Structures are given as C-alpha cells and as structure tokens.
Amino acid sequence: IMYENLSYKITHRDATSNARSGLLQTPHGKIETPNFVFCATKGAMKSVTTQQVKSAGADIILCNTYHLFLQPGGNLVQKHGGLHKMLNWNGPMFTDSGGFQIFSLGHGGVTAEIKGKSSGVRPKTLLKIDEIGATFRSYIDGRTCLLTPEGSIKTQCQLGADIILALDECTPFHTNRLYTERSMNMSHRWELRSLVEFKKHDTSMQALYGIIQGGVYEDLRKTSAEFVNNNYFFGQAIGGSLGESKSQMHEIVHMTCQYVDNQKPTHLLGICGLGDIIHGITCGIDTFDCVHPTRLARHGGAILEPQHADGKEFINIKNSKFSEDLSPIDENCNCYCCKNFTKAYIHYLFKAKELLGGQLLAIHNIEFMSSFVKKIREAIKTGTFMDILKKWNIFR
C-alpha cells in the first residue's frame, strides 16, 4: 500500500494566517512541523557528525541524489542498508531528486541563476535537457552521465530516505514565459514517470513529493499546483524560480500556496532566511531546507536574530571587533559552542585556520535554527504567532 507507514496530520491552525503546526510520521520517527531540514548534501553534514547534529536539536536531514548518484552510487549505499545506516542517522530523512544540482552546477552558480542575475554563459557541464532526462558531465571525473526520472527514483529508493522528490527541471528566473511553460509541462511528464517508477518499488516505506514549477507566472503556478494535487503524491514541494528579489519571492510563495492541497505537507526548496521562513509559515509552508547554516558557519557566520546582529541575520566572527570579545555568540543559546567558548576564541580559531572554528559555528547554527522553528511551533500552538509576526514586521 502506498505511503502505508507515513502520515501527516495538522494539529493546530493559526487564527490570523495560514500558519499551521502538524505531525509528520515517517518509518524513522516523527517530526513536528513547521521544521527546518538540514542538508547533509553528499551524505555528510559538513564538519559535524550526525550525533552532534542530533544533539544540537535537528529532527530531520536531507541528502542529495545528484551527488550520491555520481559517488558512491546507489548500489553501495544500498549495501550499507541505506543512508540511515551508512550515516548513523536514526531519524527522518529527505532526498531531493538531483534536478536542481544538475542545473545549478551546470549553469555556474545557484544564487546567481535561480534567485538572481543571469551569468549569460552557456554551461559546459550541462550538455542537454530533453524529454529523456538530463545529460551532463560529472564534476568529479568528466564522464558523461544521464539522469532520467526513472533513474532518479531508482537511486532514491536505493538510498532509502523517508521522503523523496520527483525529478524536475529547475529553470532560472530570467527565462521567458514560453520556455518556462514548456519546461513545466516536461517536468509534469517527468513527475508522472517518477510516479510510475516509484510504484515499482516498496512504496509503503517512502513518500514521494511532486514539485510545483511555473516560475514567476501565477497561471503556470496554479496549473502546476493543480497537476500535483490531481496525482497521487504524498506531499508537494515548491521549486524553481522564485523571482529576482526577496519581495517577489514572498509574492510567489504566497500566491503558489493559494493553489496547493493544504491537507498535504508542503515543502519550500532551498530557503533559509529567518524572515523568509516566518513569511513562508504564514502561507502554510511546513518544511524548509537549505545548506546555509553549515555553509555560513564554514565562512565565519553565526546566525542570530537581527536585533543582535546589527540588523542582519548573522554576525561574521572573523571581524576584528570580536578579537577580544569574551562573551559567547549568544548568551541565550544552549548549544555546546555558546555554553563553552567565547567569540574571541572562535575568532582566533578562524585566524589560525583551525577547522574547529567552523565546527563550533555549525553546531551553533544548527541549534539556533532548530530552536527558531520550535519557538514558532509553540507560538502557533499557544495562539501567540501574531506576536512573532509583529516582532518581524510581517503581516499577511
């Protein structure tokens, strides 16, 4: 029986917005939503172990099919008993389909192409996208590879994540409407093929999400959402171009959420800004994922709420003003980093090029994001979510 061991239940609804809290049950445990999904892209969280990730409060992680398809390959992961056993992660897990990475690596940059400006350079690693699938050169050894919808699903079944995604083409924001519509329609055909392939495997232990495309065009987003609604996907993920500015991104997320099946879990792909997460939750988004917390940590960034970070959402610990600062990153944070080390020490670690600096900030950022979404869940449950919206000047 499809999705026999998975379920999603809305437990509380906010009276002032579309925010809701829920319970997502998977074969490897349950998580409360809204929640943040941390990225162990290549089968590892950068610089931290899965035990440290769990200790820092993370409930769910995501691995990337594109990278694991190239190496070590689905067969070797399957021999380990799946990603959960290979990573020593006994909790819920996502895998994404690989489409986004084929596009972003092929086009020379994720932010530049998906959520910003065009590079204007034709990719060299991405050779062809057509009805069959995506043909590309491996960034590892240059060999030519083909990832089809069927291949993506087969690999994800070998990887064994609880929640998997259908293969789609991820278009950049600057493509015109004609290309966006053609791409969306092809992605829909790919998603149907993904569903057919998925049914050939043990569908009781994994859940397949459809992906909503359509770029910046409301009628296309509506069409795509209705397509996902009308097919037997467990949930839906909002993907593709979300515009060229934060305000446009918010508009597209809000608009798209009006057309989704709001009884199913909804995931927003690749978004991590604190204000963006709160806005997404007001629209009815349940889960978010992004590499940002650990990537930022490796470059000296510690996530904090704006009032503690000069209006930004993080501080750069490499800044000289922290060289003799004997306070922790966040006095209110209970993470291992903040309970034991000073800003000055972590600043020194980065200056000395000690890897421990990035590890400590990663632990802090994971704990911060986990605590951040937990506070939002509690606010929705207790009817105080409006207080968070007022604090962040977000009104819907």
Which residue is associated with the tokens 């171009």? 241
Which residues have CB under 8 Å from 201's CB, separation 6+? 153, 154, 157
Phi then psi for residue 305, to 5 deg, are -70, 150
Cβ atoms within 10 Å of 377's Cβ, excluding its own: 21
Sheet of strand 7-13, all strands in order from the earlier edge strand to the far edge: 7-13, 20-26, 29-33
Q: Which of 162, 168, 276, 289 is catalytic?
A: 289
276 is catalytic: no
Q: How far is CA 17 from CA 5, 42, 106, 264, 279, in A?
A: 30, 36, 39, 17, 10
Radius of gyration of the CA atoms of the chain, in A: 20
Q: Which of 59, 96, 168, 330 is catalytic?
A: 96
Instruction: Write the DSSP string, 283-318.
Output: HT--EEEESHHHHHHHTTEEE--GGGTTTSSEEETT
330 is catalytic: no
* Distance of alpha carbon 126 from alpha carbon 145, whole angstroms: 10
Cis bond upstream, residue 72 (ω within 30): yes
User: What is the distance of C-alpha 346 from the center of its chain?
Assistant: 28
Phi then psi for residue 60, to 5 deg, are -150, 145
DSSP 313: S
- List, by residue number, the catalytic residues: 96, 289
